[in-house]
């Protein structure tokens, strides 16, 4: 079979764009130059444009409308970041080039680490991990190595609260830890009394995100970190919700030792199937030596890759997703020190505005000041399920909030408006949510009515996904 036929739209000798002018531009030695021809589909430019334009119309993105997907922070990505990351000077470098020839790129790694250090108080960041969950795994590998070096091989347990993001226990398990689950009390915070009883010589650490996935700030965080440290264990911060406290609280001041940041959430780069991610891991001073190799340091005004003998090693090819780092760097610089806290201030204001506006129609299980997201437990008169509400929102042109997560309530509806949305957008969404609360049950149970595909069988969609473009026609 002709290799090209693996591409569904390929047809021999059709051509869209000639890459010849870019050949041999990389400063790479012969050893690393590609020997075989690269396999591309053979399609005309018009076919390519139509193919991707039509596919994009079948999707929904934050550039089209409100996307309040709780926990995922689907916020607008300023186009200037894309422009900068798309500069040829960045796109045409190769990770195997000599460090002398990529000083600008190393400077971006170095400077971005410095900014994150200032924001969080950590001593150094590694940009090797390519997603939040990847950052968790990397951070836990650092934790494991720390205890191995100290000969404390008994520390095999990681405590995770019930309100944790699902990736936390998963990452701990992948890293070889046993998971111990700690409950929350009625205000959504960690049950400190239960935690006290769980801490023993076998506990390596606790993984916490603050604010939690309930959007609630862990008010006992200093007590928790004191207890954990007294036990000789470490505090791991899932920094995926850093966008709620940016510029207000330094992670190190809450008592955390290791953390990751979801650059693709907090610092506005595409997220959720939208592109590559980045989950840089930051650590306190004495743990820097365990970070993945290499990290970038500056000496005599030059930037260098530095390798540590005690490092956990490599966790990804080369140096992580560089383009994501450029976007985050641009985003932080464009806000500057004076405006970085506006991100959290407005994200929190918007979430609380939605909370207060909808609490007459929707059940609010934790009625206290929330941070960047608000959790409801379905509609007050229970006439329809959260799934029905989510499906009906599609008819009104809104991406639904996250549903049935966290697992603490039966009809969870987690709304995260982000800082970018105007009051008019929020009011439009609130009005529709209120309208849905009074709509005909049959209309809600059979929604959506206006989308390309109607209500899908969720189980079948997961078991037999249609991933080819022809399946969508």
Ligand X SMILES: Cc1ncc(COP(=O)(O)O)c(C=O)c1O
Nearer to ligand X, 327 or 392 (CB): 327
With binding defined as CB under 6 A, does residue 210 bind ligand X? no
Piece in contact with ligand X (CB under 6 A), picked from 2-10, 35-43, 131-139, 306-314: 131-139
With binding defined as CB under 6 A, does residue 165 bind ligand X? yes
Piece in contact with ligand X (CB under 6 A), picked from 125-133, 310-318, 354-362, 423-431: 125-133
H helices of 373-457, in order, are 386-395, 423-437, 441-445
| CB of 313 vs ligand X, minimal distance in Å | 21
With binding defined as CB under 6 A, does residue 350 bind ligand X? no
Piece in contact with ligand X (CB under 6 A), picked from 20-28, 95-103, 173-181, 233-241: 233-241
With binding defined as CB under 6 A, does residue 71 bind ligand X? yes
Nearer to ligand X, 131 or 206 (CB): 131
With binding defined as CB under 6 A, does residue 209 bind ligand X? yes
With binding defined as CB under 6 A, does residue 241 bind ligand X? yes
- At 338 the three-state DSSP class reads helix
**CA 158 to each of CA 195, 204, 282: distance values in angstroms, whole numbers, following the listed order:** 12, 6, 19
The CA distance from 160 to 162, in Å, is 7
Under rule CB under 6 A, which residues in 268-307 are in contact with ligand X?
Answer: 277, 279
Count the Cβ atoms, other than its own, within 10 Å of residue 89.
8
Tokens of 439: 């709509």
Tokens of 307: 């390798």
| CB of 274 vs ligand X, minimal distance in Å | 11
DSSP state of 151: T
Tokens of 456: 């899908």
Nearer to ligand X, 210 or 386 (CB): 210
With binding defined as CB under 6 A, does residue 374 bind ligand X? no
- At 257 the three-state DSSP class reads coil
Nearer to ligand X, 371 or 392 (CB): 371
With binding defined as CB under 6 A, does residue 420 bind ligand X? no
Helices 423-437, 322-358: axis angle to 10 degrees equals 50
| CB of 458 vs ligand X, minimal distance in Å | 20
Burial of 471 from C-beta contacts in 10 A (0-12 / 13-18 / 19+)? exposed
With binding defined as CB under 6 A, does residue 402 bind ligand X? no
# residues contacting ligand X (CB under 6 A):
15
Tokens of 265: 């959430």
Q: Taking Cα atoms as reference points, which of 309, 273, 284, 321 lies closest to residue 108?
A: 321
The CA distance from 211 to 240, in Å, is 9
Piece in contact with ligand X (CB under 6 A), picked from 46-54, 126-134, 281-289, 411-419: 126-134
With binding defined as CB under 6 A, does residue 72 bind ligand X? yes
The structure tokens 């030695």 sit at: 29
With binding defined as CB under 6 A, does residue 171 bind ligand X? no
Under rule CB under 6 A, which residues in 244-273 are in contact with ligand X?
Answer: 262
| CB of 323 vs ligand X, minimal distance in Å | 15
Q: Which residues pair with 374 in a beta bridge?
A: 415
| CB of 279 vs ligand X, minimal distance in Å | 6
CA count, 13 A, side-chain hemisphere, 294: 14
With binding defined as CB under 6 A, does residue 238 bind ligand X? yes
Q: Taking Cα atoms as reference points, which of 326, 354, 348, 398 lies closest to residue 78?
A: 326
The structure tokens 């693709």 sit at: 264
Residues that bind ligand X (CB under 6 A): 71-72, 131-133, 165, 167, 209, 213, 238, 240-241, 262, 277, 279
């Amino acid at each position: 079979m002709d290799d090209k036929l693996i591409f569904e739209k390929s047809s021999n000798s059709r051509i869209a764009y000639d890459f010849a002018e870019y050949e041999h531009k990389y400063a790479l030695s012969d050893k690393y130059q590609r020997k075989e021809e690269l396999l591309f589909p053979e399609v005309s430019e018009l076919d390519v444009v139509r193919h991707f334009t039509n596919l994009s119309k079948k999707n929904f993105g934050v550039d089209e409308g409100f996307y309040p997907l709780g926990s995922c922070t689907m916020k607008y990505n300023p186009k200037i970041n894309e422009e900068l990351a798309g500069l040829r000077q960045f796109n045409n470098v190769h990770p195997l080039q000599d460090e002398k020839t990529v000083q600008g790129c190393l400077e971006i790694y170095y400077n971005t680490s410095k900014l994150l250090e200032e924001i969080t108080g950590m001593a150094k960041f590694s940009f090797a991990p390519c997603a939040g969950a990847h950052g968790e795994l990397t951070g836990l590998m650092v934790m494991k190595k720390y205890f191995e070096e100290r000969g404390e091989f008994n520390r095999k347990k990681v405590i995770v609260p019930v309100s944790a993001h699902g990736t936390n226990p998963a990452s701990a398990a992948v890293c070889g830890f046993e998971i111990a689950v700690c409950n929350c009390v009625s205000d959504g915070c960690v049950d400190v009394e239960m935690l006290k009883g769980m801490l023993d010589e076998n506990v390596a650490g606790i993984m916490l995100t603050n604010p939690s996935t309930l959007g609630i700030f862990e008010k006992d965080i200093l007590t928790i970190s004191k207890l954990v440290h007294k036990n000789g264990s470490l505090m791991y911060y899932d920094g995926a919700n850093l966008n709620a406290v940016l510029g207000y609280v330094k992670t190190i001041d809450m008592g955390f030792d290791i953390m990751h940041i979801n650059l693709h959430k907090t610092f506005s780069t595409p997220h959720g199937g939208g592109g590559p991610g980045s989950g840089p891991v930051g650590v306190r001073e004495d743990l820097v030596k365990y970070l993945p190799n290499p990290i970038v340091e500056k000496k005599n005004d030059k930037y260098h890759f530095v390798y540590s003998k005690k490092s956990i090693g490599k966790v990804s090819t080369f140096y992580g997703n560089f383009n994501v780092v450029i976007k985050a760097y641009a985003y932080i610089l464009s806000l500057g020190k004076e405006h970085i806290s506006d991100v959290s201030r407005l994200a929190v204001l918007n979430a609380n505005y939605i909370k207060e506006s909808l609490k007459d129609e929707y059940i609010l299980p934790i009625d206290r000041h929330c941070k960047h997201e608000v959790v409801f437990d379905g509609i007050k008169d229970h006439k329809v399920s959260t799934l029905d509400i989510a499906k009906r929102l599609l008819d009104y042109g809104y991406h639904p909030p996250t549903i049935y997560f966290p697992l603490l309530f039966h009809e969870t509806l987690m709304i995260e408006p982000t800082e970018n949305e105007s009051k008019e957008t929020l009011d439009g969404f609130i009005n529709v949510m209120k309208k849905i609360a009074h709509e005909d049950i049959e209309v809600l149970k059979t929604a959506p009515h206006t989308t390309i595909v109607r209500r899908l069988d969720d189980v079948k969609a997961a078991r037999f996904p249609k991933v080819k473009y022809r399946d969508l026609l």
